[in-house]
Amino acid sequence: MVELGATLYGIDAVSLRQAVVPDTLQGRVNATMRVISWGIGPLGALAGGVLGETIGLRPTVLIAGVGTIFSFLWLALSPVRRLRTAPVACLE
């Protein structure tokens, strides 16, 4: 089920990005998003390892679980949720 959600999110995110970003900046924006999304994984693994060593495994897993449960909030509280169509000014 997680894979389905990730696939749907990816389709929606890239479609919105392509509609909003001018054609001349598509490559730069795509590269930036890839660096951010692929670069955050190793940082999270490092943070998890440091937390596991300092506060123990159970509290670290609890923090990860709580973070996972509330990870949807950044999108739910953003203006993206209210978009029904792509902004007209950016479609030119």
- For the record, the structure tokens of 44 come out as 């999270």
Asked if residues 83 and 16 have their Cβ atoms less than 8 Å apart, the reply is yes
From the CB of residue 47, how many other CB atoms can be counted at a distance below 10 Å? Answer: 14
Alpha helices in 1-92 (DSSP H): 2-20, 26-55, 57-69, 73-76
| pTM listed for this prediction | 0.60
Per-residue model confidence as pLDDT tens digits over 36-92: 888 898 999 999 999 999 999 999 999 999 998 888 888 788 887 787 776 655 544
- For the record, the structure tokens of 71 come out as 């990870």
Domains of the chain, by residue range, sit at 2-90
